[in-house]
Structures are given as C-alpha cells and as structure tokens.
Chain A
Amino acid sequence: MKKIFNVPDMTCPNCAMHLEGLEDEIPGVKRITASYKKLIMEVEFDETQLTIEQIILAANEIGYHPEITPA
C-alpha cells in the first residue's frame, strides 16, 4: 500500500532525510520517499503489519507531524 502524507513541519532537506530514515526503523515499511520542496512523504508499506496511525506516531517521535492527504 502507498500513502502520501503532508508534512508541514519539514524545515530543510535534512528533514526529508530524517523521515526517510524511518524506513529502517519501522517493521512493515518498504520505502519512504520524502520531499522537502513539496513537504510530502510517500510511504510504501505492508498494511498487514502496520497501520497509518503507527506511521504517524513514529514520525511524531522524531519531531514531525504528518497529515493524511485527502484521496
């Protein structure tokens, strides 16, 4: 499953790097691609292992507050 989040509190390209680092931390995440320019984060994950809320929670823990984009 792929989900795009708005991440309004990214302040530099390094923030994108931090968020992408979550792909090594959260089991069930296949890939995270974050863009500082667009302030978005695209997460590819296995929904049988992980929920959207858990992804948001993991991002919150490193200081970011993703919001689900309207489909």
Chain B
Amino acid sequence: MSSNKQNPSVDPVIVIALGIALMAIAFALLVFKPNVQSLTLTAGSGAWSQLVVAFVTGITTGGLSCLAVQGGLLASSLAHQIEQDYIEQAAINKKAKQKTLKHTNTAFPILLFLIAKLVAYTLLGALLGWLGSFLTLSPMTRAILMIAIGIFMIGNALRMFNVHPIFRYFSIEPPKFITRYIRRTAKGTDTVTPLFLGALTVFIPCGITQAMMATALGSGSILMGAALMFAFVLGTSPVFFIIAYLTTELGARLEKFFMRFVALVVLILGFTTLNSGLNVLGSPLSFQNLTRNLISSNSDSVPVSESPQPSATDSSIFLSVKNDGYFPRTLSAPADKALTLNLVTNQTYSCARDFVIPSLNVYQLLPDTGTMQVSIPAQPKGTTLFFTCSMGMYTGQIVFQ
C-alpha cells in the first residue's frame, strides 16, 4: 500500500557524502602531519613517513590496481543490489500500475564493501606484523623481496597489455574452492553480502597490496603492521569508491580504457619497486646509480676537504641525512684510507634514517636528530660505494679517488 516504505535503503546522497568525507579525512592526514615524535608505533623508525607512503601508494595506484583484481567481487555485490532494487521496483510498479524508473543505489554496497575490506586488511596487517616480529628481514632479503615483487608487477602489467601469453603466468589465481565459495556467497540475499565480500578480498590481494603486505610483515610489529595496512587500504578507498561508483553509473564503456590505465600504473610501479630493490642491493644498475654519473654536476659532488661540516678532516666525511634524501649525493673520499662516515640528522623522520651501505653490509637506524658514525674500511682507488635508505628511495654514493 505504502510503496514509499518498501525501500529502506540509505539515500545515495548521504553515502556519497560519506565517501567524500572519507577523502577529506584522507587528505587531511596527508596535509596535517601530527607530531612525529609522539608516534612510537615502531622502535624508533620513521613510522609516520611509512604510513604516509602507504597511504599515498594506496590513493595513487592501490585503488586502481585493487579494483582491477577485486572489481569482480564488488561487481557481484553491486549486481545483487541492482537486481534486488529492480525486483523491488518491478513489484512496486506492478502494484501501482505505473512505469517509473527508480535510480539504483549502488553507493551503499560499495561503502559496506570498503568498510569490510578496511577492517579485514587491518586485521591482516596486525597478523603479518605479529608474524614479522619473529622474522628479521635483512636489507638483502628485503631487496630480493622487492625485486621479486617488482618483476611480478611488471609481468602483471604486461599481462594486462596482452603482450604475450606467457605473462598470464604472472597472475595469481586463488584456489578453486575459495573462488567457488566466494561466488556462491555473492549470490546471498541480504545486506551482509557486500560486507562479507569486502572481507573476502584478503584472499585475492592485488600486486600492490601484496607489496604492502610484505612491508607489514617487515615491520615486525602488530600495531605498525595493522597501521600500514589500514593507511594503505584507507588510501585505496576513495579511488575505489569513486571509480566503482562512476563505472557502475557510466557502464562498461570505460572498462577497456580503465584497464589500460591500470596496466600502465602497475607497470610504472613495478619498475619503481624493482629499481628500489636494486638500490637496496647496492646494484650499479639501478636508475639512480646509472644516471647519477651521467647527469651529475660538480656541485653535486663534494670532496672530503670541502664537506659542509667545519670539523671535516682527511679521515672523516659528513653526510647530511634529510627528510628528502642524502646530501651531497656524491661524496669523494681518499682511496686506501680508512674513513669515518658521519651521518648527520636534524629532525629527520623519513626512511632516509634507515641507512644502508649494501656492499659493506652496513645497516644503521639513525636518531631523528644527532650524528652517528660509521666506519668505512680502506677502499682501492676507483671504488664506488652506493648507499641508500632501506626502502631504496633515497640514494647516493661515495667515490674513492
């Protein structure tokens, strides 16, 4: 009789507003960094910067990549919602003997799906962090892991571009019993379906998510693991929400274009991850190490005697460790002479604090402010020692002359 009461679903405007609010929170987190010193999620490392990196990775590429992999699950819950709305509407129209077209509310299941995904991945992050507390990933192990993930992502991108059938082997197919279970659950008839499907996405993580899971494992802390995955999935959520919403609204016309775009992003990120792995490995083949000598200017290279610190001596060199990297990026040092490398930090909270010289097996976590000394044994003339942060993001070299 009262057809208006038959549709209890939430107004899409409210849900979209929630989505926008989610984005606003996300950007606020980016812009207003809290006092880093108060954040002690992990033993002394730049926890906040890691979370920001996780979040930015999520908001820039994670959302697209995850949507490519997990879009099917989301589509299942949306299809169900659309189908249910259609049946409800048909019943209403039949009763009212009229032909009106009600707009399907796809925003609400997307939101439920994303909330469940956020919770599930946060718990997964905690679990990985807990497992990681039993393991210690050396820079070398991390480098190999990053290189493997980079190759996996590049292979996946080439698969999406349909370059060669061999790249189909870069896709991870979940076990059949899981997909069968997920599929049958997707046919559920209540609002719990999108929640449950969102939680099930932990079983089909995309390449970028897998990389983030490796980072959570490497954090070795329950809290940090959970926070990393939370930040990452929170970052993916606005993109996931907007694109999923627009895609369902605009139809499949954009799908082909969208997949190419995702493939391109994954390809770029794959190369970036591979490159970071090469940096952590101390390889001269990384992009920075290959191009540094080609494009370096004299001002970028500072010999020992001209180091910025007044106390520099023949046997000690200084490296300024800042939030955006190491300065100077190229240090000159005398050959055949043992040296002391002074690493100077001043309110440095980025991953630059996790200082690594791969070839000497030096790994040092620096204080956020202060000076830490690293002994460098005598090196023959012409040797180049590459140094990097533990993530392979910031790099530099010491050239022995």
Contacts and interface: CB of A to CB of B under 8 A. Distances in A.
Contacts of B183: 17, 20-21, 24
A38 B169 CA distance: 9
Contact of A17 (B68, B179, B187, B259): B179
B18 interface: no
Contacts of A37: 168-169, 171, 173
Contacts of A14: 69, 71-72
A11 to B, nearest CB: 8
B176 interface: yes
A18 interface: yes
Interface in B184-206: 184, 187
B173 A36 contact: yes
A17 B171 contact: no
A13 B184 contact: no
B102 interface: no
B180 A20 contact: yes
A13 B165 CA distance: 13
A14 B71 CA distance: 9
A7 interface: no
A16 interface: yes
Contacts of B290: none
A12 interface: yes
Contacts of B71: 14
A33 interface: yes
Interface in B54-70: 68-69
B187 A24 contact: yes
A17 B168 contact: no
Interface of A: 11-14, 16-18, 20-21, 24, 33, 35-37, 39
Given A13-B173, A37-B169, 9 more contacts: A14-B72, A17-B179, A17-B183, A24-B184, A33-B176, A36-B171, A37-B168, A39-B165, A39-B168
15 contacts: A12-B68, A13-B171, A13-B173, A17-B179, A17-B183, A20-B183, A24-B183, A24-B184, A24-B187, A33-B176, A35-B173, A36-B168, A37-B169, A37-B171, A39-B168
